[in-house]
Chains A and B, each alone.
Chain A
Amino acid sequence: MNSVILRAGARLLALLLVIFSIYMLLRGHNAPGGGFIGGLIAATGFVVFAIACGTEDARRALRFDPGSIAGAGLGIALLAGIIAAIFGDNFFTGQWLFINETEDDKGIPLSTVLVFDIGVYLVVLGAVLSITFALEESV
């Protein structure tokens, strides 16, 4: 498929989808979204990119091997559990840090739960892309 319009559009669309996926990931705790959905959206972005520009370009845009991304994601998710264990709680108990916390505002919430969700995001992204890319390359 060699269409300049499609390629240019796909680039833009992919960028938007990836940004949107990060937004979905971060808002997930309080509104629809989260690591799983975010990962799927980002994967869709790269799949669109791969269809328009070929998997070679898509792999280059991704920078890392999708399999490695998925593996790293699993490691990050595990890390979230281990952190809880280090702090003496049960495995995977959420650990929270509220920056600038006031009486009625929780400030900027940072947590191992978010770390875990990022891990899920990366696993989903990496897994979907490694299947899609391999499939498209073998056809």
Chain B
Amino acid sequence: MIPTITAGDTLRFVWEWVPSLGVNVSFYIDGLSLTFALLITGIGALVMLYSARYLAGHVHQARFSFYLTSFMLAMIGLVTSDNLLALFVFWELTTITSYLLIGFNHDATKSRRSALQALLMTGVGGLALLAGIILIGTTAGTFEMSEINAMPGVLTGSVMYLPILLLVLAGAFTKSAQFPLHFWLPNAMAAPTPVSAYLHSATMVKAGVYLLARVHPSFAGTDVWLWTLTIAGAVTMVFASVMALRQTDLKLALAYTTLMALGALTLLLGNESGYTITAAATFLVVHSLYKAALFLVVGILDAQTGTRDARQLFGMARAMPITAMAAGIAALSMAGFPPFLGFIGKELKYAGALAVASEPILVAGAVLISSALMVAIAGIVSFRPFWSKSGTPIPDVKEAPWPMLVGPIILALLGAIFGIFPETLQSIVTPTVAAIVGNAEPAKELRLWAGVNLPLFLSIATFVLGFLLYAYKVQLRDWLIGITTRAPSFDNGWDRLMAGVAAGSKALTRGIQTGVLKHYMYVTFATALVALAFTLFTQTSGIPSVSWPQIALWDWLVFLLVLLGTWLTVVTNSRITAIAGLGVVGIGMAMIFILFSAPDVAITQLLVETLVVVLFAAAALKLPELDKDSFGKRPFDALLALGFGVVTTIILMKVTTGPIDRELTTFFETASWPEAFGQNIVNVILVDFRALDTFGEIAVVLIAAISIFALLRAKPEPQAEEDQP
């Protein structure tokens, strides 16, 4: 498969799922999918090996492996799906598995909070994305991304472009933690370190970037796209790299540099030029390699020394030489030193920044600042803990076992190999760029030595600035801590938002759920009345004149009976009498059914009335007496009842005077005997023509019975205790 893709071809596999809705399980492999899939499976395998040892002996190790493999599956599905709805399903699956993995240490409050925060943030983004996807589908007429990308201008030229773009960006920015939706990602570091390395650095958080790259051919090229991505990316990049310097926890520092990388990728994807996209494709690989390696190294430090505080770790290289070496190589790639892949990535970033369509100087400046900070942070994360002599090493520390070392070493070495032999990486970067740009725009060549040019000078400036920042890191950090503790934090804002939502829903619930049955009935009937009356007066006009037909004596008698029952119910002070009165009304109704030759309905009505009276009579013994002389004291009730009666009467009059479509009746009358061998149409409809409906109904009957049974049997706790001898 790999040679096919590197040759510039694409693969597609379609399996129809819900063809009537255009939902297919279709997979599409091009350079972009392949790059991601290789990162996911490659880093995934190393992380699996690592975590087998990292979590060895943990009670829930099996559960952890299950979550991690599920995530890997979902992530591969995400990057290979062609159908946007299938992509959404996988997208949500990664959100859920990420939630489970962040909350893996579920007995810690902080883990649970972080997991929930990540779930809600990415979940809301996911919903926005779904709305965007549906709009895309209705605009373009298909959900297959490969087909949409083959129709240039179908989205950018549409009036729906702006809403679609905003919704898709909401999904991508929450997933890839762009400022100001970034705060969940540093909190997600509550997960075990292999998870942070895998999900929250190398793969899942790049899903948003992947989405931006995937839709790039049909979205890019507009001012909105360019400026939104450039500004969001640049702000995230600079903000995150400054925040990274502030951290004393090495893992958190790495988390913020991940944010910086995501910002850089977003920034680069805002453009269309060959340089910027090549830079994005390369930097994607570079970052995944060195960042996963460094996370795993921090995990090793944490596991072997018991701390990952930058202020306590010094000179550990003597105790753990192999870890130190892997960390060193990865960090050199991160800082962008030649001959590592990071250098190529950085040179391309500068070249790309200078080629952006928006503000080359500003963007290049932002890249310069963040790259210089990367140099400083690379030093803090992997030079100081291993080589610095400004503190005493923690004693009695052993080198990590080999399964934990394999991952960082391979990932770090890959950064070096790809740096020295960039043509090996070129073969996959070229089809990736082609996939992102959407046409045969040639990818720029990856070269270690690109000659003396502006990016080279910017690189040198980066190193100088980076060393200066490293030298003054402690002062800078204290200064930053001073600022950030005074500034309002997003995390506190989140807490306030959550508390507000909880308080709001509590107030709403208290308002709606009064617990008084009468109030529920008011609301139900009033809503129905308003809806019916509104429709009646806006959609139709006038009260139809009914020509009074010959009314037989029987009809009059039934009418009087119903009237009598109603009167009895309204005026009585006794519950039993009221129920009996209602029963009389019900029997009157049954007689009307009989008069109009609907025996089945009449029998059912009679039986139900009988049973209802029995049930009510049983319950009435426990109910309090009705208010004495309540007659005339509940005008609102009377008004509601009268209104409902009037509206129903008008509707019935309209129905009976208007034309009735008898198509269905005729069908059932003619088809009942020949097709279903039954002469009782009502029954044939119930059990044969509409059997599925009936099945649903009896299921509801059963559920209702179970619920009522449970309600009746549920007793207050203290009473249950008394029952026990």
Q: How far is the CB of B465 from chain A (nearest CB, A)?
A: 71
Q: Are A33 and B692 in contact (CB under 8 A)?
A: no
* Closest Cβ–Cβ distance, residue B135 to chain A (whole Å): 34
Judge whether A67 and B705 touch: CB under 8 Å. Answer: yes
Let me know if B680 and A32 touch, CB within 8 A. yes
Q: Mark A101-120, 1 if CB is under 8 A from B, else 0.
A: 00000100101010011011
Q: A32-B680, A34-B680 are in contact. Are A117 and B611 (CB under 8 A)?
A: no
- Give, as a whole number of angstroms, the nearest-CB distance from B686 to chain A: 6
Chain B residues lying within 8 Å of A37, measured Cβ to Cβ, are 600, 603-604, 607
Measured between alpha carbons, how far is A128 from B615 in the docked complex, in Å? Answer: 10
Does A131 interact with chain B (Cβ within 8 Å)?
yes
Would you give the shortest CB distance from A26 to chain B, in whole angstroms?
11
Q: Does B150 have its Cβ within 8 Å of any Cβ on chain A?
A: no
Which of A36, A37, A124, A138 gathers most chain B CB within 10 Å? Answer: A36
With A40-B607, A44-B611, A120-B687 already in contact, the answer to whether A138 and B702 are too (CB < 8 A) is no
- B320-356 to A contact mask, C-beta < 8 Å, 1/0: 0000000000000000000000000000000000000
B710-724 near A? 1/0 per residue, CB < 8 Å: 001100000000000
Question: Is A80 located at the chain interface by the 8 A CB criterion?
Answer: yes
Q: Indicate if B163 sits at the interface (CB-CB under 8 A).
A: no
Report the nearest A residue to B606, measured CB to CB. Answer: A40
Given contacts A34-B687, A128-B611, A131-B615, contact A119 B680 (CB under 8 A): no
* Segment at the interface with B among A3-11, A56-64, A91-99: A91-99
Q: Does A31 contact B (CB under 8 A)?
A: yes
Q: Which of B593-610 contact A (CB under 8 A)?
A: 599-600, 603-604, 607-608, 610
B698 proximal to A (CB < 8 A): yes
Judge if A100 is at the interface, Cβ distance under 8 Å: no
- CB contacts (< 8 Å) of B622 on chain A: these are 139
Q: How far is the CA of A86 from the CA of B3 in the complex (A)?
A: 47
The CA of A103 and the CA of B65, in the complex, are separated in Å by: 69
Report yes or no: B611 in contact with A36, Cβ–Cβ below 8 A: no
Of A33, A73, A78, A131, which one neighbours B708 at CB under 8 angstroms? Answer: A131
Residue pair B680, A33 in contact (C-beta under 8 Å): yes
**Could you tell me if B695 and A139 are in contact, using CB atoms closer than 8 angstroms?**
no
Interface size of B as a range: 35 or more
Chain B residues 655-710 with CB under 8 Å of chain A are 676-680, 682-684, 686-688, 691-692, 694-695, 698-699, 701-702, 704-706, 708-709
Cα A36 to Cα B679 in complex, Å, equals 17
Contact (Cβ within 8 A) B695 A77: yes
Tell whether B639 is near chain A: CB-to-CB under 8 Å: no
CA distance A33 to B600 in the complex (A): 6
User: Do the beta carbons of A29 and B680 come within 8 Å of each other?
Assistant: yes
Cα separation A83 to B712 with both chains bound (whole Å) = 37
A31 touching B705, Cβ below 8 Å: no
Q: Cβ of A1 < 8 Å from any Cβ of B?
A: no
B691 touches A92 (CB 8 A): yes
Q: Which of A40, A70, A117 contacts B705 (CB 8 A)?
A: A70
List chain B residues, Cβ under 8 A from A136. 618
Contact A134 B709 (CB under 8 A): yes
CB-CB under 8 A from A126, the residues of chain B are: 702, 705
| Assembled-state Cα–Cα distance A116/B699 (Å) | 13
Q: Are A51 and B614 in contact (CB under 8 A)?
A: yes
- Taking the closest CB of chain A, its distance from the CB of B190, in whole angstroms, is 45
For residue A54, CB closer than 8 A to chain B, the reply is: no
User: How far does the Cβ of B193 sit from chain A's closest Cβ, in whole Å?
Assistant: 50
Known contacts A36-B604, A132-B614, A138-B712; A29 and B684 CB within 8 A of each other: yes
Interface: B551 (CB within 8 A): no
Question: Quick one: given A32-B680, A71-B702, are A92 and B615 in contact (CB under 8 Å)?
Answer: no
On chain A, the residues within 8 Å of B712 by CB distance are: 131, 134-135, 138
> Cα distance A35–B604 when bound, in Å?
11
**In the assembled complex, A53 has its CB within 8 A of some CB on chain B:** no
By a CB distance below 8 angstroms, the chain A residues around B615 are 131-132, 135
Bitwise, A33-52 to B at CB < 8 A (1) or not (0) is: 11111001101100100010
Query: Does residue A2 face the partner (Cβ distance < 8 Å to B)?
Result: no
Asked whether, in the complex, the Cβ of B709 is within 8 Å of the Cβ of A131, the reply is yes
CB distance from A100 to the nearest CB of B (A): 15
Is B621 interfacial (CB 8 A cutoff)? yes
A43 to B676, CA, bound (A): 28
Alpha-carbon separation in the docked complex, A71 to B704 (Å): 12
Residues of B within 8 A of A51 (CB): 614
A130 partner residues in chain B, CB cutoff 8 A: 705-706, 708-709
Q: Does B701 contact A127, Cβ atoms closer than 8 Å?
A: yes
Q: Measured between C-beta atoms, what is the minimum distance from A54 to chain B in Å?
A: 13
Interface centre among B603, B687, B688 (most CB of A within 10 A): B687
Chain B residues with CB under 8 A of A15: none
What is the distance, in angstroms, from B683's C-beta to the closest C-beta of chain A? 4
Residues of A within 8 A of B686 (CB): 34-36, 120
Q: How far is the CA of A35 from the CA of B599 in the complex (A)?
A: 15
- Max chain A Cβ within 10 angstroms of own Cβ: one of B686, B692, B694, B705: B705
Task: Give A contacts to B, CB under 8 Å.
Answer: 28-37, 40-41, 43-44, 47, 51, 67, 70-71, 73-74, 77-78, 80-81, 91-92, 94, 96, 106, 109, 111, 113, 116-117, 119-120, 123-124, 126-128, 130-132, 134-136, 138-139
4 further A-B contacts with Cβ under 8 Å, apart from A71-B702, A77-B694, are A33-B600, A34-B683, A70-B702, A74-B702
Task: Give me 11 A-to-B residue pairs in the complex whose CB atoms sit less than 8 angstroms apart, sorted by A's number.
Answer: A28-B680, A28-B687, A36-B604, A40-B604, A73-B702, A74-B698, A96-B677, A113-B676, A113-B687, A120-B687, A128-B611
